[in-house]
Amino acid sequence: MLDALELLPDDPILGLAALCRTDDNPKKVDLTVGIYMDENGVCPVFDAIRQAQTTLVAKEVSKAYLSPAGVAGFNPGMQKLVLGENSAALADGRVSSIQAPGGCGALRIGAEIIQAASPGAKVWVSDPTWPVHIPLLGSVGLQFSTYRYYDAQTHGVNFDAMVEDLKAAGPNDIVLLHGCCHNPCGADLSQEQWSIIGDMAEAQGFMPFIDIAYQGLGDGLDEDAAGLRQLAERLPEMIIAASCSKNMGLYRERTGCTMFLCRDKKNADALLSQAKVAARRVYSMPPAHGALLASAVLADDDLTANWQAELRGMCDRINGLRSDLVEKLQTATGRDFEFIRAEKGMFSFLGLSGEQVQTLRDDYSVYMLGSSRINVAGVNARNIDYLADSIAKVL
Ligand code: LMR
């Protein structure tokens, strides 16, 4: 039976990162997977997380099972972080949340709930979107349509096309939106555009499903959640998948959260019960360590301030790198790369062909995804000139 299964190709993101690790060229540049890297090319542990971990390790007395809902203080902390201290939806008690194994687990729990509510429902995803969205949500049986989003000519959002396509989204449909720092293109909706999507959701009855994995790495924690918060205040129903991978550096600890915004508390409680049963049937309960650290940071004013300051520094560094990259690339190539400055978060599409990307990999040990998506945080003072020169050569 098992011998009928064929060898599959490596994952286009994680497989490429693994390939880059095996490259012994000292000049290699790793712009593959979306992890924050500092000036030394290291993905750091936040100081506040390290402090929380020291305390946790000293005091932890048990590794007994968690509930399927996860660590007690984690869900309320995440709700405030994402929806804001003054959220009316939170004050009305119409939000419930379940801890999930990372942003992926959070998306999967959201998909399980949608499938339970409306089997085979259609999810509208942006073109392009994170390549894992479709297999992750589709594996429960959901169907897909795409809406036009990124315009490779203008290097920005083609909002007219997005609106035109979403006019076909009906009351039983779900529209998957990137809360901020669009992965893979870095082009985000303006607040006015979020408001128009809110008008359409109200008029047409579709439900937004928001994937927010990069809060705090675009413009700031509140700024990056502003679009999502607009929708939360006016729409009766919405699902949010949040991740602590990037903004708390908890990548391998698989720490995320699914939030259900419902018409009332009774329905929010019902959805939490459904989500717990979904968790039980898929993985029983999420891992504890990351959520214990995140909740300790979110519950302590000093640790929160420390974490936010470090996150602010990362956000500022990424935005500084965007400006540096624009200048270096324009000088090296004589072409216009101004669009990189306007984008948000870790990613940018450089607009290179598949062949150019392959040559960069083979001849220069510069690794980016086949779509020419780069992780801006992989750029640093030591590799930026080499990167710009290599790109100039393939252009
Ligand atoms: C990425 O897009 O590089 C990240 O979200 C990591 C991943 O799991 O793909």
This complex has an ipTM of: 0.96
Report H helices in the chain.
14-22, 47-59, 74-83, 88-91, 102-117, 133-138, 159-166, 191-204, 221-234, 265-282, 289-299, 301-333, 339-342, 354-364, 384-394
Q: Kindly report whether the peptide bond that precedes residue 128 is cis, defined as omega within 30 degrees of 0.
A: yes
Q: pLDDT tens across 120-146, in order? A: 999 999 999 999 999 999 999 999 999
Q: How far is the CA of 138 from the centre of ligand 1 (A)?
A: 18
CATH tag, 65-299: 3.40.640.10
Lining ligand 1 with CB less than 6 A are 13, 33-34, 130, 132, 183
| Alpha carbon nearest to ligand 1 atom 5, residue | 34
| Distance (Å) of CA 7 to CA 3, 17, 20, 271 | 10, 19, 21, 39
Topology adopted by domain 2-45+304-394: Aspartate Aminotransferase, domain 1 (3.90.1150)
Torsion-angle region of 97 (φ positive above 0: left; ψ -120 to 50: alpha; else: beta): beta
Catalytic residues: 130, 211, 246
Distance 287 CA to ligand 1 centre (A): 20
Predicted confidence pLDDT, tens digits, the chain (395 residues): 999 999 999 999 999 999 999 999 999 999 999 999 999 999 999 999 999 999 999 999 999 999 999 999 999 999 999 999 999 999 999 999 999 999 999 999 999 999 999 999 999 999 999 999 999 999 999 999 999 999 999 999 999 999 999 999 999 999 999 999 999 999 999 999 999 999 999 999 999 999 999 999 999 999 999 999 999 999 999 999 999 999 999 999 999 999 999 999 999 999 999 999 999 999 999 999 999 999 999 999 999 999 999 999 999 999 999 999 999 999 999 999 999 999 999 999 999 999 999 999 999 999 999 999 999 999 999 999 999 999 999 99
* Atom 2, ligand 1: residue with shortest CA distance: 34
What is the Å distance from ligand 1's center to 14 Cα? Answer: 8
pTM score, whole prediction? 0.97
Asked if the domains 2-45+304-394 and 65-299 are classified in one and the same CATH topology, the answer is no
From 130, 215, 250, 251, mutation site for ligand 1 pocket: most ligand atoms within 8 A of C-beta: 130
Q: Are β-strands 255-261 and 366-367 bridged in parallel, bridged antiparallel, or unpaired?
A: unpaired
- Mutate which of 20, 33, 35 for ligand 1? The one with the most ligand atoms within 8 Å of its CB, which is 33
Domain segments of the chain as ranges: 2-45+304-394, 65-299
CA 13 to centroid of ligand 1, rounded, Å: 7
Show the tokens assigned to 36. Answer: 């924050």
Nearest residue by C-alpha to atom 4 in ligand 1: 34
Those residues with Cβ within 8 angstroms of residue 68's Cβ, 6 or more apart along the chain or in another chain:
98, 275, 276, 277, 279, 280, 284, 285, 286
| 141 alpha carbon – ligand 1 mean position (Å) | 23
Residue 381, pLDDT score: 96
* pLDDT at res. 366: 98
Provide the pLDDT for residue 97: 98
pLDDT of residue 178: 98
Ligand 1 atom, smallest distance to 11 CA: 9
Going by alpha carbons, the residue nearest to atom 9 of ligand 1 is: 13
pLDDT of residue 11: 93
Atom of ligand 1 nearest to the CA of 213: 5
- Strand pairing of 29-30 and 238-243? unpaired
According to the model, what pLDDT value does residue 182 have? 98
Residues counted in the chain: 395
pLDDT of residue 221: 98
Residue 121 near residue 127, CB atoms below 8 Å: no
DSSP lists the bridge partners of residue 175 as 124, 208
